[in-house]
Structure 1
Amino acid sequence: MESQRPFLYLSLLFLGFLIWQAWVTDHAPTAPEPATQTAARQNGQSVPESADDKAADLPQAANATDAPVSASTPQQNRVGATGKTIEVKTDVLDVTITTRGGDVLSVRLPTYPVSVDQPDTPLRLLRPDLPYIAQSGLLHDKQPGSDVSHRAPNHYAIYSASQDHYALGDKDRLEVVLHWRSADGVQVDKIYTFHRGEFYIDVDYRINNGSRQVWIGRQYAQLRHGETPAKSGFVGTSSYEGAAYYNGKFEKLPFKKMTEEPLKQTVNGGWVTMMQHYFLSAWMPRAGGGENLLYSKVVDGARGNEYIIGFRSDATTVAPGAQGTLSSRLYAGPTKQDKLASLAPGLELTIDYGIFTIFSKPLFWLLSKIHAFVGNWGWSIILLTILIKGVFYKLSETSYRSMAKMRKVAPKMQALKERYGDDKAGHQKAMMDLYKKEKINPLGGCLPILIQIPVFIALYWVLIEAVELRQAPWIFWIKDLSIKDPYFVLPVIMGVSMFVQQKLNPPQPDPMMQKMMTAMPLVFTVFFAFFASGLVLYWVVNNLLSIAQQWYITNKLEKESRKT
């Protein structure tokens, strides 16, 4: 092996490709909401849907009696019925709920602006124009001999509400209550409970059976997502965006797969989610609620396919004159690891660190601890990089020692190449004899690099997925570590550092390889110009430390060589 540097650069090129796939994307603007829909919602109305749509987007009850499509369906449970909107404001959520089904139409996050340049414009997670909404309801299991069918409010039912604006104010919790009543006296209160500082909403159904018949029903909750504009970049795609669920292990369900193979699994507990970069929404049954059916559907919408993922609970029985409760929880917020882990088993797995999660989690933990001490994510990245380089110092020293020995015998290697010409077998044997004589391990420079690569990749994914770095400033012109350097200063410094690293090594004996190595700094400068500045900062610091390490170790070896 004549040099380890080509192997290193090819490894870096591969890593760069992986990072590019995760970051470079055109964020196509969402198409404006049609005027008719906008006007309807401004008037507190829901846009009517067809009866076929209504039947298609409802999960089935155990005996399939709840598909409300007939003309005899009571007005309070019919598709064409309209409702009004209710605005709820807490310290971290601005939520719009409609009395038609109690759907959560919109969730804005005032503590997460859309960009640094628009600090007063909150990011909108759920939105009706896409649509991307959270729906929930009850399904009644009709019993033999029962003469009443519509005894449970699904997400087309019309609720009543005492007011249309709620604010948390200085309270720690806030309840929003919607009311529904069946023709035979079943009273259902749908209760949304908001909590200070929290991005989850508790959703409870309180069922008072004022009828003369047993009430048996199930709750369901689903997320409904329209088709998003195709995203394109120079290469690849962005972070995963789509559905996922938990059945004891975390499973992604891309929209394409949902079309081909709908989800239908019965699990204990579980949850469903719609994911996007840095944020997610999720429906979670309450712990200890028994078995749940996880399901998915694809239905026709106004702008194309709409993708639904949800859960349906086991049956609950409420005797005449008695009361029962069904509960679930809706989360709509950032992918903060500590918060998600406390909400539901496995929910933190939606922070997708890839195949090196085993390294990424402790690296993020360490990065967070450093940030708690220094208070700046940019300096935290620098300090973490220094720590990692310190941990791998001995491996780097081994690699540089091996490379120094290779440089020392480079003239002999070139002479062997010229002597044997096209005799590859003879050249290879002579090279191995030379390695043996000079006590050189030809893999001595590669193996230390190989050992470090999983940690490098793991740290890359930490910097890609950590919502904590979103809109986090470093110094001067770097106002957001999660987006590219606006003036390309860091990519240029990175390119210069790569050029300096090349100069510390002897030229390649192969002219073609030498040309490729010469072009590498320019290629990587262009490549990294579109990466998040936090990633480029890590790479710059890593390069500068590598240059310092190589210079120090090489000079140390030269001094040792002169003494001997």
Structure 2
Amino acid sequence: MNNPRSILLIALLLVSYLIWNQWQQDYARPAAIAAPETTVPAAPGTAPPAAVASDEVPSANATPQTPTNGDAPAAAVPGATTEGKGDLVEVSNDVLKLWIDTRGATIVRADLLAYPQQPKDYAHPVRLLDDSADHYFVAQSGLASAADSVKAASHQDTFVAEQKSYTLAPDQKTLEVTLTWNDPAGLTVRKVFVLERGSYVLGTRQEIRNAGAAPWRGNAYRQLQRVIPQSASHGFFGSITNPQAYSFTGAAWYSLDEKFQKLAFDKFLKTPLQGRPVTGGWVAMLQHYFFAAWLPPASSAETYTTEVRDGVHPRFTIRAMGPALTVPPGGSETSEARLYIGPKLQSSLNDVAPGLALTIDYGILTVISEPLHWVLAKFHALTGNWGVAIILLVLLIKAVFFKLSEAQYRSMAKMRKLQPRIQALKDRYGDDRQKLGQAQMELFQKEKINPLGSCLPMVVQIPVFFALYWVLVESVELRQAPFFLWIQNLTAPDPYFVLPILNAATMIATQYLTPTTGMDPVQAKMMKAMPVVFSVLFAFFPAGLVLYWTVNGMTSLLQQWIITRRIEASDKA
């Protein structure tokens, strides 16, 4: 797969894809969006309420409808980050550190303690949930009353915490945090958060007790709300070489019938999710390496919606509204759900919820990428080094495709042997391309050479290459993983450019062994420039990707050299 035509094709496909994604980032992303009024789903057979803005408390038992020019104007939306805040309650186990705002008992910050922002700097872990204006991303929950005149504990109401901070002790397996809201009419709501040791899954309960004189009716809801995250890259070229810039960021959900679905931020207004009933699914907000997801009980009939709120930093919301609840006087009800806040660990996500591993978005090549990731993880378990695992995976792929590659290189070696005779035909027929083509085909038939023999094996291998490319880009396990010597971070560029230079040398050697039969002068010039172009490009790519490409090129070169020598030796004999 490392001959010049293969390199040119793959390079054009890859660079075109990265440029297209960056164009989407720069020009297709929504800015200040004039969000239409939207409504929130609920139990069927009930009357729809007036439209509400996305940051308002959702209305219970609402039937989704498409807004028209005659809809009522939306109510005012509260301030984004500084207005109406309550006290912060700090909660942590051994892998998560959370801050819960007493206003709404909302999780407004979440640090992933095992994932530093910079290698080995565990004092500054990745902050996934954040209530700052530029990085706003929170997990909200609450109750929506069926009657406008009856209060319920929403994500805007103030709760009371029993303590200011909670920490899972070394001898504890679980930690419970309780916040309480009371209404003078007799309704009491306790929000209980449960953390377990070593787990990114947060158990949540909304316990409703009705000490009033009338039944309370409504729905429990959970939602994730965020702004578009700011890219860490600067400039166009820096963006196309940064996987975070083109990894999918947006909303996603899962259902047993439609499986995994996702919605980019620029599609929120064009194709919103409106009142879709789902049982046994989940809703999530995804980004590179990490995500948050609300996981309702498998038996709960939820209704999913998406919304957008206008502003300097537009907020995007995906919500799961639970089934209708009725709490009689003197009675109680509990609504439960789980919240995942953490990394995209393919080995364990499906154990948390069905289909959750699909948040690791390999695109249309998932069916190939997942087995490749599984093999890569096995090699890592064997060697303890992700760089060595990448090398072993490349060698395994080369072994699987050995026969195809052998046929490819045999065809190339025979074509190389015919170069003097083909040049003689060009000299004989000059500019008469029809006679030249006919003479070349007769020569190929006489020598039993298929001119496409070097292309067909490459076409088979290209999907595997791109599938492995996305495995290396999306695998959080490789994030900041060290290799050897000067490469201490496989997701950062090679600091001394050794791998890009080795790759350029490999490409030059490959060009020497590869026939240029039938190649026009423009293409030949492009081939000569490719080592320099790739060296510059790979100088900014993550070292893990360059390591894969370089090892693949070296093994291909060795294989091609051996086969070429064998054919030349047989000709001499």
TM-score w.r.t. length of structure 1:
0.86
- Indicate the residue corresponding to 1:165 in structure 2: 165
What does 1:280-295 align with in structure 2 at a 5 Å threshold?
280-290=291-301, 292-295=302-305
When residues 55 and 487 of structure 1 are mapped into structure 2, their CA distance, relative to the original with a 3 A threshold, is: closer
- Indicate the residue corresponding to 1:74 in structure 2: none
- Indicate the residue corresponding to 2:156 in structure 1: 156
Amino acid paired to 2:5: F
Amino acid paired to 2:544: G
Residue range with higher mean Cα deviation, 97-106 or 250-259: 250-259
- Indicate the residue corresponding to 1:112 in structure 2: 115
Q: Which residue of 513, 522, 535 corresponds with 2:532?
A: 522
Q: Deviations over 1:299-329 (max 9, x none)?
A: 134x331111111111122222222110111
- Indicate the residue corresponding to 1:58 in structure 2: 57
Contact 1:97 1:106 survives alignment (8 Å): yes
Q: Report the 3-state secondary structure (helix = DSSP H, G, I; strand = E; otherwise coil) of the residue aligned with 1:119.
A: coil
Matched, 1:175 2:173: no
TM-score w.r.t. length of structure 2:
0.85
When residues 423 and 161 of structure 1 are mapped into structure 2, their CA distance, relative to the original with a 3 A threshold, is: same
CA distance in 1, matches of 2:447, 2:487: 49
Structure 1 residue 360: Cα displacement = 0.7
Amino acid paired to 2:165: H
Q: Report the 3-state secondary structure (helix = DSSP H, G, I; strand = E; otherwise coil) of the residue aligned with 1:118.
A: coil
Residue range with higher mean Cα deviation, 237-246 or 396-405: 237-246
Matched, 1:217 2:222: no
CA distance in 2, matches of 1:133, 1:70: 21
- Indicate the residue corresponding to 2:198 in structure 1: 197
- Indicate the residue corresponding to 2:368 in structure 1: 359
CA distance in 2, matches of 1:498, 1:81: 61
CA distance in 2, matches of 1:109, 1:56: 27
CA distance in 1, matches of 2:19, 2:389: 25
Structure 1 residue 286: Cα displacement = 1.5
Contact 1:179 1:190 survives alignment (8 Å): yes
Q: Which residue of 110, 118, 122 corresponds with 2:125?
A: 122
Structure 1 residue 203: Cα displacement = 1.1
Q: Report the 3-state secondary structure (helix = DSSP H, G, I; strand = E; otherwise coil) of the residue aligned with 2:180.
A: strand
Q: Which residue of 233, 256, 275 corresponds with 2:266?
A: 256
CA distance in 2, matches of 1:365, 1:151: 51
What does 1:60-459 align with in structure 2 at a 5 Å threshold?
60-62=59-61, 82-116=85-119, 118-129=121-132, 130-142=135-147, 149-170=149-170, 171-229=172-230, 232-234=235-237, 236=240, 237-247=245-255, 248-264=258-274, 265-290=276-301, 292-301=302-311, 303-459=312-468
Structure 1 residue 506: Cα displacement = 4.1
CA distance in 2, matches of 1:331, 1:344: 10
Amino acid paired to 1:504: L
**Sequence identity percentage:** 44
Structure 1 residue 95: Cα displacement = 0.3
When residues 202 and 545 of structure 1 are mapped into structure 2, their CA distance, relative to the original with a 3 A threshold, is: same
Contact 1:23 1:531 survives alignment (8 Å): no
Amino acid paired to 2:9: S
Q: Report the 3-state secondary structure (helix = DSSP H, G, I; strand = E; otherwise coil) of the residue aligned with 2:452.
A: coil
Amino acid paired to 2:90: E
- Indicate the residue corresponding to 1:494 in structure 2: 503
Compute the RMSD of aligned alpha carbons. 2.7
Matched, 1:481 2:490: yes
CA distance in 2, matches of 1:547, 1:198: 46
When residues 299 and 20 of structure 1 are mapped into structure 2, their CA distance, relative to the original with a 3 A threshold, is: closer
Residue range with higher mean Cα deviation, 151-160 or 98-107: 151-160
Q: Report the 3-state secondary structure (helix = DSSP H, G, I; strand = E; otherwise coil) of the residue aligned with 1:174.
A: strand
CA distance in 1, matches of 2:17, 2:386: 19
Structure 1, unaligned stretches of length 5 or more?
29-51, 72-78, 143-147
CA distance in 1, matches of 2:2, 2:21: 29
Aligned length: 520
Structure 2, unaligned stretches of length 5 or more?
27-50, 64-71, 77-81
Structure 1 residue 54: Cα displacement = 7.2
Contact 1:53 1:300 survives alignment (8 Å): no
Q: Deviations over 1:20-71 (max 9, x none)?
A: 569999x99xxxxxxxxxxxxxxxxxxxxxxx9977433221159xx9x999
When residues 53 and 390 of structure 1 are mapped into structure 2, their CA distance, relative to the original with a 3 A threshold, is: same
